[in-house]
Amino acid sequence: MMGPGWCAVVVLLAMTEAAAGRFVVEKNSVRVTSPEGLKGKYECAIGNFGVPQYGGTLHGWVVYPKVNRQGCKEFDVSFKDKEHRSGARPNFVLIDRGECFFTTKAWNAQIAGAAAVLVVDSKDEPLITMDNPDDTGTKHLENITIPSVLITKKLGEDLKKSAEKGEMVSVLLDWRESLPHPDERVEYEFWTNSNDECGPKCDMQMDFVKSFRGTAQVLEQKGYTQFTPHYITWYCPEAFVVSKQCKSQCINHGRYCAPDPEQDFNKGYDGKDVVFQNLHQVCVFKVANDTGKPWLWWDYVHDFAIRCPMKEKKYTHECASHVIKSLGLDIEKIDKCVGDPEADEENPILKAEQDAQIGHGKRGDVTILPTLVVNNRQYRGKLDKGAVLKAICSGFEETTEPTICLSEDVQTNECLENNGGCWLDNDNNVTACRDTFRGRVCECPIVKGVKFVGDGYTNCEASGIGRCEINNGGCWKETKNGKTISACSHEESNGCKCPEGFKGDGIKSCEDIDECKMKTACQCTGCSCENTWGSYECSCAGGDSMLYMREQDTCISKQAVSSVGWSFMWVIFFGLVFAGVGAYAVYKYRLRSYMDSEIRAIMAQYMPLDSQEGANQQQHVAHAGDI
Ligand SMILES: *[C@@H]1O[C@H](CO)[C@@H](O)[C@H](O)[C@H]1NC(C)=O
Ligand SMILES: *[C@@H]1O[C@H](CO)[C@@H](O)[C@H](O)[C@H]1NC(C)=O
Ligand SMILES: *[C@@H]1O[C@H](CO)[C@@H](O)[C@H](O)[C@H]1NC(C)=O
């Protein structure tokens, strides 16, 4: 029985051919923001577990524990924010490399309340990718939600020294440039495997397909993404092609191989069954893509895993065919694409997969399964719906990301704490803080159609039409005796102005002007003045027989008032004349008879009406009446 060892040889050989390509360590930047002496931008390697904040940043204080510095045991201290020193910023833990799995360190830090882990390399070397172990030690893998990064020994030593001296050390982890974001479409690949019996990794892979399927399909259907699934295969070295091992692990005469699922050639399914099913999955994608429905791949993979599992011995061509048919895909085309696995010839589909595996551009070789590639860069971290969506979202050129990227799944919830440091109007529940996957932004909002303008941090003001509806446009407003007076005016697009009868800044206060005291009104002889809120009342000396004329600040006799009343009649009369109703001539003479000099004098105060104009006006009326 030569299981795993032999397997390793094949992998090794297959990989030497790919030596032209290389493994690329995916990085994000770490900016030391204090102490002064260490300030600067450094690089760190993104760990392939936990949840990196693709597209975003995380700012925290660095804590170097006094004991358990390798983080292999549970910490007996808490890294939760200690208010006296950290404010709203979380704590990152500095942990030495060595002794135990990276995932164990991350888990211990997470349960002690750390927001991120900085693992310090133990030797001077280029950065490496921290991966999760394959079989053992993965029991907490799925539950690690904090990001982990590896920093160089040099940077680590410097940070430790500062921390031990008692200096405040803070760093900003920045993933904003970890993935390119050139345009409004994201291309991504998922390097996967149809094998469903490889332990936690296979389970996580399937969980991911299940949870991400819906999102992936929506993104694809709306044209936001172009997705391609991929499968890694190995090949058998020439000399081994006729061996029992190659025959059981490979198809097409040793050309395309996969490791035995149980690593036992005499038991259960063999590597060749896995390659064969992988080939089906590529072909399903190809045929679905050719008919313009590439998203059917997600349904196929999902359904196949449920309907054709290895443990129920249904991992077969027949079962696959049932699933293909149920999805309405052309089974003949797919069978043609799959070809004859016994034939001693190349399969163009799998050949293309092998070529794609070799890195090009910035991507590097794909050697970890499963691997997600976003905009030709490998994603690192947990295959979790929210985390992956965040990564895909960060691949869009800013402002072109689909609305799903602004949904709750990918929010950072930074607004919950201290309102993200943004402007907040508590009384009216209006805030400038908006959570996005890129982190929070402080932007004056639009509330009920009213646009707020300002810097978003210290001030935002409602502006434009409708602004008075919200918080009265930030202006003064008061109600007294059932009368409400506001300094917000719809006519003015911004600012506040006390209405007539008031003085003040219009924002905090408007004070009633005492017109009587100021002697700005009711100065007619014998008149008595009484101030009211926002106005005044003036009564004439002559009592009931006299009427106070506000604009002119004068008193006139009631007789004149009746003439004034006539002036309104005159207005109505205009209307009548224009409508061509009524006997114009009669009114004309009556009107004239009332136009004695006294009335004309009063009316002149209401409209420019000297005798000349008056004559014109009558002519004009006459014309109108003639029509
Ligand atoms: C991981 O979290 C889930 C849900 O919170 C829980 O059911 C499971 O027991 C956890 N697993 C481990 C190993 O902690
Ligand atoms: C899928 O279809 C699109 C457009 O129809 C094409 O550009 C793309 O190359 C296809 N992908 C594959 C893997 O065939
Ligand atoms: C403020 O608005 C948010 C969202 O619009 C709502 O969830 C919350 O209950 C509101 N709070 C108050 C005090 O009105």
pLDDT tens-place string over residues 159-172: 999 999 989 999 99
pLDDT higher than threshold 70 for residue 549 = yes
Distance 40 CA to ligand 3 centre (A): 40
Ligand number nearest CA of 207 is 1
CATH label of the domain that carries residue 537: 2.10.25
Ligand nearest to the CA of 424: 3
Does 488 map to a domain?
yes
Q: How many domains does the chain have?
A: 5
Return the ligand 1 atom nearest residue 143 CA. Answer: 1
What would the DSSP string read from start to end of 320-353?
A: HHHHHHHTT--HHHHHHHH--TTSSS--HHHHHH
337: in domain: yes
C-alpha span between 362 and 375 (Å, rounded): 10
C-beta 520 within 6 A of ligand 1? no
- Considering the domain architecture, whether residues 329 and 446 belong to the same structural domain is answered as no
Task: Give me the pLDDT at residue 122, please.
Answer: 94
Do both 143 and 121 map to the same domain? yes
User: Packing angle between helix 296-307 and helix 200-221, nearest 10 degrees?
Assistant: 150
For the Cβ of 200 lying below 6 angstroms from any atom of ligand 1, the answer is no
Identify whether residues 301 and 334 lie together within a single domain. yes
User: Which CATH number fits the domain that encloses residue 133?
Assistant: 3.50.30.30
Q: Give the pLDDT of residue 412.
A: 66
Decide which of 545, 566, 587 is a domain's last residue.
Answer: 566
Task: Work out the pLDDT band at 480, boundaries 50, 70, 90.
Answer: confident
263-303 pLDDT, tens per residue?
Answer: 777 778 999 999 999 999 999 999 999 999 999 999 999 99
**With bands split at pLDDT 50, 70 and 90, how would you rate the model's confidence at 583?**
low
Its domain, for residue 557, covers 516-566
Residue 399 sits in the same domain as residue 273:
yes
**Is the per-residue pLDDT at 395 higher than 50?**
yes
Predicted pLDDT at 409: 64
Q: What is the Cα–Cα distance from 228 to 216, expressed in whole angstroms?
A: 11
- Mean pLDDT (the chain) is 81
Judge whether residue 191 has pLDDT over 70. yes
Which listed ligand is nearest to 286 at the C-alpha? Answer: 2
Which ligand 2 atom is the nearest neighbour of the CA of 292? 5
Alpha-carbon gap, residue 584 to 621, rounded angstroms: 9
- Per-residue model confidence as pLDDT tens digits over 230-253: 998 888 888 888 888 888 999 999
- Residue whose pair of structure tokens reads 């050719």 in the numeric block: 290
Q: With 80 as the cut, is the pLDDT of residue 574 above it?
A: no
Q: What is the pLDDT of residue 45?
A: 94
Residues 293 and 194 in one domain: yes
Name which residue sits closest to atom 10 of ligand 1, judged by CA: 143
Cβ of residue 139 lying under 6 Å from some atom of ligand 1: yes
Q: With a 6 A CB cut-off, is 68 part of the ligand 2 pocket? A: no
Q: Which atom of ligand 1 is nearest to the CA of 140?
A: 13
Residue 391 falls inside a structural domain: yes
pLDDT in the model for residue 464 = 79
162 and 279 assigned to the same domain: no
Residue 530: beta bridge partners? 537
Residue 142 Cα: closest atom of ligand 1: 1
Relative to the alpha carbon of 384, which ligand is closest?
Answer: 1
Tell me, using a 6 A CB cutoff, whether residue 228 lines ligand 2.
Answer: yes
Closest C-alpha to ligand 1, atom 14: 140
Measured in Å, residue 289 CA sits from the centre of ligand 2 at 6
Q: How far is the CA of 335 from the centre of ligand 3 (A)?
A: 57
For the Cβ of 207 lying below 6 angstroms from any atom of ligand 1, the answer is no
> Which residue's CA is the nearest one to ligand 2's atom 3?
289
pLDDT above 70: percentage of residues in the chain? 81
Q: Which ligand has the shortest distance to the CA of 226?
A: 2
Domain contains 34: yes
Check whether residue 430 and residue 488 sit in a common domain: no
Strands (E) located in 64-176: 91-96, 116-120, 148-151, 170-174
Q: Looking at the structure, tell me whether residues 101 and 238 fall in a common domain.
A: no
pLDDT of residue 68: 94
Angle at 134 between CA 394 and CA 13, to 5 degrees: 95
Q: What is the pLDDT of residue 624?
A: 30
Task: Please work out whether the CB of residue 140 comes within 6 Å of at least one atom of ligand 1.
Answer: yes
Q: Residue 543: count other Cβ atoms within 10 Å of its Cβ.
A: 7
Ligand 1: which of 143, 145, 146 to mutate, most ligand atoms within 8 Å of CB?
143
Binding site membership of 293 for ligand 1 (Cβ less than 6 Å): no
| Closest atom, ligand 1, to C-alpha of 139 | 13
Inside any domain, residue 590: no
Show which of 174, 201, 236 is a domain's final residue.
174
pLDDT of residue 595: 52
Q: Which range has the worst mean pLDDT, 77-91, 154-168, 341-355, 515-529?
A: 77-91
pTM for the model stands at 0.66
Q: What angle do CA 448, 451, 454 make, to 5 degrees?
A: 140
Q: How far apart are CA 252 and CA 254, in angstroms?
A: 6
In this structure, the residue with its CA closest to atom 8 of ligand 1 is: 143
Residue 611 lies in a domain: no
The ligand 2 atom nearest the CA atom of 286: 14
The preferred substitution site among 226, 333, 353 for testing ligand 2, maximizing ligand atoms within 8 Å of CB, is 226
Residues 238 and 303 in one domain: yes
> How far is the C-alpha of 85 from the C-alpha of 36, rounded, in Å?
18
Query: Which CATH number do you get for residue 399?
Result: 3.40.30.10
**CA of 134 relative to ligand 1 center, distance in Å:** 18
- 27: which residues sit within 8 A by CB, 6+ positions away? 43, 44, 45, 46, 127, 178
Residue 96, pLDDT score = 96
Q: Is residue 249 part of a domain?
A: yes
Distance 53 CA to ligand 1 centre (A): 22
Using 50, 70 and 90 to split pLDDT, how confident is the model at 562?
A: low
Q: What is the pLDDT of residue 70?
A: 94
Test site for ligand 2: of 289, 291, 293, most ligand atoms within 8 A of the Cβ: 289
Check residue 585 and give its pLDDT. Answer: 52
Q: Are residues 231 and 96 in the same domain?
A: no
- List the beta bridge partners of residue 378: 373
CA of 220 to the centre of ligand 2 (A): 12
Residue 563 scores a pLDDT above 70: no
Instruction: Tell me the pLDDT band of 14, cut-offs 50, 70 and 90.
Output: very low
Which of 318 and 441 is assigned the larger pLDDT? 318
143 lines ligand 1 (CB under 6 A): yes
For residue 605, being part of any structural domain is answered with: no
Q: Which ligand does the CA of 140 lie closest to?
A: 1
Q: Which atom of ligand 2 is nearest to the CA of 285?
A: 13
Give the domain-ending residue among 367, 385, 406: 406
CA of 286 to the centre of ligand 2 (A): 8
Measured in angstroms, how far is the CA atom of residue 507 from the centroid of ligand 3? 25
* CA 143 to centroid of ligand 1, rounded, Å: 6
Q: What is the distance in A from the centroid of ligand 3 to the CA of 429?
A: 6
Nearest-CA residue for ligand 2 atom 12 is: 286
> 215: helix, coil or strand?
helix
Q: How far is the CA of 98 from the centre of ligand 1 (A)?
A: 25
The pLDDT of residue 451 is above 60: yes
Question: Does residue 182 have a pLDDT over 90?
Answer: no
Residues 217 and 351 in one domain: yes
Identify whether residues 284 and 344 lie together within a single domain. yes
What integer is the mean pLDDT of 564-582? 54
**pLDDT for the residue numbered 219:** 92
